[in-house]
Amino acid sequence: MLHIPYGNTHIEYEEEGAHVLNSRIGELKSAGTGLEIVKKAMENPIDSPRLSELAKGKKNCVIIISDHTRPVPSRDILPNMFAELKEGNPDIEITLLVATGFHRPTTEAELKNKLGEEIFAGSKIVIHDSKNPETNVKVGVLPSGAPCVLDKIAANADLLISEGFIEPHFFAGFSGGRKSVLPGVVDQVTVLGNHCSRFIDSEFSRTGNLDNNPMHEDMVAAAKFANLAYIVNVVIDEEKRTVAAFAGNFITAHRKGCDFLLEYCRVKPAYADIVITSNGGAPLDQNIYQCVKAMSAAEATCNPDGVIILCADCSEGHGGEGFYNSLKNCKSMGELYSEIMATAQDKTIPDQWQSQILARILLKYKLIFVTRQENRDIIEDMKMIYAPSLKEAMKIARELGKETVTVIPDGVSVIVKE
């Protein structure tokens, strides 16, 4: 019996003969608690002095932390960061800067849930606003030609560091590292320039690839402009527990973490007419926007003219007005895709990249979305097929004449590559 993550629960599925593509993260056995794993990594930083050394002589430190859409185990990371910072400099002032990127602001309740009451109550916390030019400042020009406009709090930090987690990412290659800066704490003009149609269309802007990836190269440049001095990135298992940690230089520590993850996440395609997947459950499946990630994993192993079945709770609906309306208002996927590809870099609009990837997928496959009833109109507006259950979705797929099945229980945890 397979368990497919769905919100805070799961959907059971069983079918004889179905191929199953799973990451091997479950094979990793924790060498201690999450706090202990992070502490050990920070005691042995990669290509960097220890954080306690970096803190010496600094008046303040800004820690870029993830927002509510990322299951980063901050309770494992931040206490260790605080301890090393204070060890090196008892008087250092610490600010937590929430890397919302293009997402909505994180709520107080979400911050308390993420950080715990003690860290929340005892910390100075600022939520980044990518849409407020008054709080951001230009610090350079990226390789893409886009301006690098950074949150002033990050730009003015004596010491800028970040937490994060590493998972496969459908166009940046991997999450973590430099992504805490871009898109995390930059102005919308920088995000839009980096997420242009030309970069999204690049054959190198794909899951599990950093080499020659133009989006990654822009992100690295942004982190350099920001003077990102140190990172702690973790790898988590299916239960969102820390199983490995990498600390130190934002390029090499991140790369080591990515190489480590690739060993456990890479799976060969098992091409099939029907591919069933999920976006990993909560909090990653809180909206349709985020679920495009899992769709791209299914895309990599689906037969031409096949069917992708995506199971996701999507408690917050579509997740982006521009994203939703572009699909709702288009006459055809072909027309939408052509319009996006013809859009100049400096004319990129919010959510365009997600629309581009979803349009690319819908040009090739039928997509059946298993989600809550209140999302039905949204799903159908966006030219997808609604199903109230996986059983019903399979019935629809069978009626379309599809037979062979591959299941990717967690579509954001695998890298489908030959």
Number of Cα atoms under 13 Å in the Cβ half of residue 195: 23
Using DSSP, state whether 316 is helix, strand or coil: coil
- Reply yes or no on whether 254 is catalytic: no
Question: Of the residues 3, 19, 68, 103, which is catalytic?
Answer: 103
How far is the CA of 372 from the CAs of 12, 287, 344, 380, in angstroms? 16, 11, 37, 13
Question: Of the residues 68, 128, 169, 254, which is catalytic?
Answer: 169
**114 residue type, one letter:** K
Selection from 395, 390, 417 nearest residue 2 by Cα: 390
Distance of CA 213 to the CA centre of its chain: 16
For residue 47, what are the contacts with CB-CB under 8 A and spacing of at least 6? Answer: 248, 249, 252, 253
For residue 190, what are the contacts with CB-CB under 8 A and spacing of at least 6? Answer: 142, 146, 147, 148, 149, 150, 182, 183, 222
- Reply yes or no on whether 169 is catalytic: yes
Name the token pair of 18: 């179905």
- Strand pairing report for 415-416 and 302-311: unpaired
Using DSSP, state whether 402 is helix, strand or coil: coil
Using DSSP, state whether 415 is helix, strand or coil: strand
CA distance 17 to 1: 12
Selection from 371, 199, 402, 214 nearest residue 279 by Cα: 371
What residues are annotated to the active site?
103, 169
